[in-house]
Amino acid sequence: MAFTKAAVEELSALHGEPEWLRARRLASFGIYEGMSLPDTKRQEDWRQADLKGLDLDSYAPFQQPNGTAPAGTLEQVSGTLRQRGTSKPTIELDPALARQGVIFLPLAQAAREHRDLVERYLFSAVKPDRDKFAALHAALFTGGSFLYVPDGVSVEHPLISQFWSAGSGGAVLPHSLVVAGKGARFKYVDEFLSADRQEVLLASGSSEVFLEEGSDVGYVALQRWSEKTWQFANQRFHLGRDSHLRMVDVALGGRFARIRVEAMLEGPGSTADLRGLFFGAGEQAFDFRTLQDHIAPHTTSDLLFKGALQDSAKSVYVGVVHLRADPRDP
pLDDT at residue 328 in the model: 54
Q: What is the mean pLDDT of the chain?
A: 94
What's the pLDDT band for 219 if we cut at 50, 70, 90? very high
Q: What is the pLDDT of residues 114-127, one digit of tens each?
A: 999 999 999 999 99
Residue 221: closest CA among 264, 274, 266, 179: 274
CB 161 within 8 A of CB 191: yes
Question: CA separation (Å) from 249 to 94, 169, 221, 222, 303?
Answer: 26, 26, 5, 6, 11
Q: Cα 129 to the chain's mean position, in Å?
A: 16
pLDDT beyond 70 at 171: yes
Q: What is the pLDDT of residues 226-251, one digit of tens each?
A: 999 999 999 999 999 999 999 999 99
Q: What is the pLDDT of residues 25-82, one digit of tens each?
A: 999 999 999 999 999 888 988 988 889 999 999 999 999 888 888 877 667 999 999 9
